[in-house]
Amino acid sequence: MGNTLTVLVENNPGVLARVAGMFSRRGYNIDSLSVSTTDDPRISRMTIIVQGDEAVLQQVTRQLRKLVDVIKVQDITRDPHVDRELSLIKVTADTTVRGEIMQIVEIFRARIVDVSQDSLIIEVTGDEGKVNAIEEALKPFGIREMVRTGTIALLRGSVTAAEYEED
């Protein structure tokens, strides 16, 4: 897993394009990007997962802070935080293997959200490791389709993004 950045931005048109464009212009790849409004509809939170050493991370952070509409940039990689992603996995499941698949779903505390004659759609939420593990467990049955959200993350405890002190 890469470095976890949370970026508070003004909820204006074009902000996502400017942030993604900054990464592209600098030749940095975004491993995961998730964006949503916060409890304040004027502000959105981006959670960006990016690979790189300390110098790359500092450069990315500095460049993000220069962008119009960026309110705050936090590297929470080493701070106590909770991160999650969601995955929907459509797996081949005729009646002979459904019991086995249901056991896997139960073990991972996932849910079956759709049933058809020859497939199931499974919803799983968790950290990257959990989502990877259930994917591996379901591969032998035949994954037909799969989609994963980007990672989302919040600092643990009572500190909010607005109160976070940067190094």
> In the chain, how many domains are there?
2
Give yes or no for residue 142 having a pLDDT over 60: yes
Q: Is residue 111, in this structure, part of any structural domain at all?
A: yes
Rounded to two decimals, what is the model's pTM? 0.84
The per-residue pLDDT for range 94-121, each reduced to its tens digit, is 999 999 999 999 999 999 999 999 999 9
pLDDT band at 162 (very low <50, low <70, confident <90, very high): low
Looking at the fold, whether 67 and 109 belong to one and the same domain comes out as no
Structural domain for 114, as ranges: 83-152
Looking at the fold, whether 90 and 65 belong to one and the same domain comes out as no
CATH code of 59's domain: 3.30.70.260
Phi and psi dihedrals of 103, rounded to 5? -65, -45
CATH code of 143's domain: 3.30.70.1150
**Residue where one domain finishes, among candidates 75, 91, 122:** 75
Q: Is residue 161, in this structure, part of any structural domain at all?
A: no
Determine the pLDDT at residue 163: 66
Could you write out the three-class secondary structure of 8-61? EEECCCCHHHHHHHHHHHHCCCEEEEEEEECCCCCEEEEEEEECCCHHHHHHHH
Q: Is residue 113, in this structure, part of any structural domain at all?
A: yes
The per-residue pLDDT for range 54-95, each reduced to its tens digit, is 888 899 999 999 998 999 999 999 999 999 999 999 999 999
Name the DSSP letter for residue 135: H
Determine the pLDDT at residue 100: 97
**Residue where one domain finishes, among candidates 51, 75, 99:** 75
Looking at the fold, whether 94 and 120 belong to one and the same domain comes out as yes
Looking at the fold, whether 63 and 99 belong to one and the same domain comes out as no
Q: Is residue 60, in this structure, part of any structural domain at all?
A: yes
